[in-house]
C-alpha cells in the first residue's frame, strides 16, 4: 500500500494540511480495520479522553501556540506563493 492511500496531490496544495489530512485518513483506516471488538474500542476512546483531560493544562496552551504559529506560516506562505508565481494571461 502506498503512503497516501491512492490520493493524488496537487502541486499547490498546502503541505501541512495535506499531512494532517493524510495522517487522519491513515488513523481512520487503521481504526476501522483493527481486529478489536466494540467494548475494547470504547475503552481505548475513554482512556484517550482521560489522557487529554488530565493534560489539558499543557495541551490547551500548546494548541493555542501551534494555531498561532500555523496562522503565521499560512500568512507567509500566501504572501510568498503570490509573489513567486507570475500572473497568468
Report pTM: 0.67
pLDDT tens sequence across 29-46: 999 999 999 999 999 999
For helices 56-84 and 38-54, the axis angle rounded to 10 degrees is 90
Q: What does the DSSP 8-state code read for residue 31?
A: H
Rounded distance between C-alpha atoms, residue 36 and residue 41, angstroms: 7
Residue pair 12/81 in contact by the 8 Å Cβ criterion: yes
pLDDT at position 7 is: 54
Take residue 55 and report the three cell numbers written for it: 493534560
Amino acid at each position: 500500500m502506498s503512503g497516501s492511500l491512492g490520493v493524488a496531490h496537487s502541486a499547490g496544495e498546502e503541505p501541512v494540511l495535506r499531512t494532517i489530512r493524510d495522517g487522519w485518513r491513515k488513523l481512520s483506516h487503521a481504526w476501522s480495520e483493527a481486529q478489536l471488538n466494540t467494548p475494547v474500542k470504547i475503552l481505548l476512546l475513554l482512556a484517550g479522553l482521560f489522557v487529554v483531560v488530565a493534560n489539558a493544562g499543557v495541551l490547551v496552551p500548546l494548541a493555542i501556540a501551534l494555531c498561532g504559529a500555523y496562522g503565521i506560516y499560512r500568512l507567509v506562505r500566501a504572501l510568498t506563493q503570490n509573489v513567486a508565481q507570475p500572473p497568468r494571461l
